[in-house]
Amino acid sequence: MSKEDIVLEVGSGSGQLTTGFAQLVNKVYALEVDSRLHQGLELKLIKYDNCQVIKSDILKFDIKEFLQENNIKQKIKVIGNIPYYISSPIIEHLITYRDNIAQAFMTVQKEFARRVVAGPGSKEYGSFSCFVQYYAQSQILFEIKNTCFRPAPKVDSCFLSLNFRNNPVVIVEDEEMLFKIIRAAFGQRRKTLRNSLSDFINPPELEEFLKSAGIDKNIRPEDLTLGQFGELLKKVKKNLDKQLNLR
């Protein structure tokens, strides 16, 4: 972090981390949804003129609108210890505002973090891995033992970073269809790709694509890269267009 950074802290709580951020960056917006903590948080930050408490839920917070209202033109950084049970919705929400966010740093459950950063061929790799990595470079910066917290949770944690890309890792014509294909593939991950995507493309057509791409016809979805899913999308759309022209 640097003196030029503008930080949105998600779940500021009692402000223990907020005061540290305030000494390192240009501005800190302390987002806290729990009304019982607002008064104490404001009192703790009163001596920091570069801190502002925002009484809102991150999942209902319009980041783009807020930045426009406050005439903030630079991309911000998001940081926070987020509730484990809504980690996925929060990341999806941040991805919606990826044009306004440079980086996000979050403490999340270790198993969840491994899913986010997992690559092809690993058991943790899935549709959510593909979704996040399409828009961001993800990395586990370090692990945190459960004994570091009071009270100690039952699981270990990780400090996860997301660096949002200026452009997706794969350029496709139809992102919505791409993720439909990916979700369908991983929805039946025990099946081969030929069987799990039968609703999108006829098995012979898919087998032809796999052969032309030098991919084993019995490949499973967890072995396919995002780039290969992107190429598969082209084949699916070409097949759909052909069917429409025959009607």
Beta-carbon count within 10 A of 230 CB: 18
Per-residue pLDDT of the chain (247 residues; tens, 9 = 90+): 789 999 999 999 999 999 999 999 999 999 999 999 999 999 999 999 999 999 999 999 999 999 999 999 999 999 998 888 999 999 999 999 999 999 999 999 999 999 999 999 999 999 999 999 999 999 999 998 877 777 767 788 999 999 999 999 999 989 999 999 999 999 876 777 878 887 888 778 888 888 887 888 888 889 999 999 998 898 887 765 555 444 4
What are the structural domain ranges in the chain? 6-164, 175-245
Tell me the whole-structure pTM to 2 decimals: 0.90
Q: How far is CA 104 from CA 133, 164, 206, 239, in A?
A: 13, 8, 38, 39
How large is the angle between the packed helices 127-135 and 87-96, nearest 10 degrees? 30
Helices first, then strands: H and E counts in the chain: 10, 7
CATH of domain 6-164: 3.40.50.150
What is the structure's pLDDT at 240? 58
Q: Which fold has domain 175-245?
A: Helicase, Ruva Protein; domain 3 (1.10.8)
pLDDT, one tens digit per residue, over 188-210 is 767 778 788 878 887 788 888 88
